[in-house]
Structure 1
Amino acid sequence: MPTSSPVRRPRRDARENRAGILAAAADEIARDPHASLDVIARAAGLSRRALYGHFDDRDALVSEVLVAGAARFNAIAARVSDTDPRRALARLTAGLWQEASHVRASAAIALDETHVGGTAAALAPLRHRIAEIVDHGQASGVLRTDIPGPELAELIEYTGRSIVARMGAHPEATAEVAVKAVLGIAGLSWRETVALLAELPEAGE
């Protein structure tokens, strides 16, 4: 008689367990950036030993969580399609802020000086998008040209990272703060920024 194909449930369980660990880690790190492996394992409904079957140590787990977060930031950058560089910067900054506001602690870890080096490659698409916006803005004369493009793009990124990394200390802050800071670095006056935000109220929420 024909035999049935073997059930490959264990492999699927392994994938589901890994996904569950990553989801639990993202949630727990968002609550407490120092969340232990024991806490994360319990949140995932697994033992610490089972967690070690997927990740060698806490650093490996945190690194994967941060890379996944970087992918979400990159996706936001890819969706920004405004032809006006000023609007593009405002929308990009607001979008990143809003994403980070849902996972404040883990976003701060991903973007702080200690960990950003580890996520540099993962954030390459975001950096490329910022550079594109700056190049377009300088060429069209709407962004400052007294600073070379690569340096200006780096300053814009650093400003955004610094604000997101510190927003946990100011939970009442809104995206408007970040947008104003980034556009100020990009060369807009505060009056120009206020006028732009009036046209894009969603960027200040």
Structure 2
Amino acid sequence: MPYLATLLNCLVRALYGLPMVHPDSTLLVTISGIGIVVEIVFLTIFFVFCDRQQHRLVISAVLTVQAVFVATLAVLVLTLEHTIEQRTISVGIVSCVFNAMMYASPLSVMKMVIKTKSLEFMPFLLSVVGFINAGVWTIYGFVPFDPFLAIPNGIGCVFGLVQLILYGTYYKSTKGIMAERKKRLGYVGEVGLSIAIAQTELENIAYFNKRVNGV
């Protein structure tokens, strides 16, 4: 989900930065273009190594919808709106929405962190980079002021800060959970994410069975 949201955000941002939509946005177009390439690489890797055909079909469908949406938006804006100001506002509003959605995409992971009191599902480096990225773009959006950059990235700063607060809150409990899991599994060394997820699922199933059987 985060990769798809980021790809859509980069596509719309690239459209927003085009000279016929929002002039003097070379940096925005360049970075958005790089983002598109990076996300395509990530999704290609997923397609190569994913062993579930259903997941591939879902991703393919979402990518098709995204491509059609961005192409339709570009055609409508460039043909029906004849001034830079109109195009900037129209594409800016759309990009603002999708930019905020990109930053909100880890909400399900944050919910899982709070529920399990474990940070195993939320990479620290990714959270830090996301926070810094949002902060830099927020500053960029104020020089000169561009609400379609400043507002969604300001929201991204808030989401990034919340993730860092979660790290400070659950860091100790995560170490305890992982140590306990190592002890139960008899595992020596670091417990990988796949092992942690599998063990968590087994624990959830066991808890559900107890509730159903009234144990």
What TM-score, normalized to structure 2? 0.34
Between Structure 1 and Structure 2, which shows a larger proportion of helix residues? 2
What TM-score, normalized to structure 1? 0.36
